[in-house]
Amino acid sequence: QKEVEQNSGPLSVPEGAIASLNCTYSDRGSQSFFWYRQYSGKSPELIMFIYSNGDKEDGRFTAQLNKASQYVSLLIRDSQPSDSATYLCAVNRATDKLIFGTGTRLQVFP
Amino acid sequence: EADIYQTPRYLVIGTGKKITLECSQTMGHDKMYWYQQDPGMELHLIHYSYGVNSTEKGDLSSESTVSRIRTEHFPLTLESARPSHTSQYLCASSRTGSAYGYTFGSGTRLTVV
């Protein structure tokens, strides 16, 4: 079992819909959680981070964390074709080293 | 705007050549990392450093070596390039502490012919 699991997708959603991306992790000692967006051929870009249980909102993005269930998700509201990318979940344990998931490819179609 | 720079952006080189991929950051971050990523595939950590004169191998075995003589500079060297080294190489840096994510450079796409 990988330490950080993501469905590889592709997840296809129509423009204007809510895209829901999910991630589970195995280490209960994990302390902080990050979502990166990576366009094809580009480097990952940090878009959200969350430390506490509950929701954190930033514009069209909402990160949700449930430590009891070891589950973190990213919601993208009003999805746009420009949101089409691979979304990487990353988890930071006490070692300060991020563990990345394999990423979920999101496709937003007009 | 990212303050971590990688050069060259693209490199095509012949088998057996020695190459150095440059990575510099101006954010004063203690920690720096090198990842290898093939198109459409996951990130693989190949080297990391938690400070000057500190380097460690990552999760993926690599024939490359790194050095960290200055805080801002973390070059990666391949003594003898082979076609199997063809990949994208991403450098990243972060502050100390679990609360901080990584900032990535733009990457170097290496092709060994």
How far is the C-alpha of A1 from the C-alpha of A22, rounded, in Å? 16
The dihedral built from the CA positions of residue A94, A103, A55 and A24, taken in this order, carries a sign that is: negative
Chain B, window 23-62: residues with a beta carbon less than 8 angstroms from a chain A beta carbon: 31, 39, 42-43, 45, 48, 50
Q: Is the peptide bond before A110 cis (omega within 30 degrees of 0)?
A: no
CB B21 within 8 A of CB B111: no
Detail the DSSP E strand segments found in A8-84. 11-14, 19-25, 32-38, 45-50, 54-58, 61-66, 71-76
pLDDT exceeds cutoff 70 at A94: no
Interface touch B101/A34, C-beta < 8 Å: yes
What residues in B contact A34, CB-CB < 8 Å? 101
CB A52 within 8 A of CB A66: no
CB B30 within 8 A of CB B10: no
**Helix (H, G, I), strand (E, B), or coil: what is residue B84?**
helix
Among A45, A98, A99, A102, which would you mutate to test the B interface (most chain B Cβ atoms within 10 Å of its Cβ)?
A98
A46 touching chain B per CB within 8 A: yes
pLDDT of amino acid A32: 92
pLDDT of amino acid A84: 98
Nearest to A43 among B31, B48, B90 (CB): B90
**Per-residue model confidence as pLDDT tens digits over B39-80:** 889 999 999 999 999 999 998 888 999 999 999 999 999 999
Position B99 confidence tier, pLDDT thresholds 50, 70, 90: confident
Mean predicted lDDT score pLDDT of chain B: 93
Average pLDDT over residues B3-32: 96
pLDDT exceeds cutoff 80 at A53: yes
Nearest to B98 among A88, A94, A100 (CB): A94
What residues in A contact B21, CB-CB < 8 Å? none
What residues in A contact B98, CB-CB < 8 Å? 31-32, 92-94, 96
Interface touch B99/A100, C-beta < 8 Å: no
Nearest to B106 among A43, A49, A96 (CB): A43
Least confident stretch, A65-79, A86-100, B65-79, B99-113: A86-100
pLDDT exceeds cutoff 80 at B18: yes
Q: Is the peptide bond before B83 cis (omega within 30 degrees of 0)?
A: no
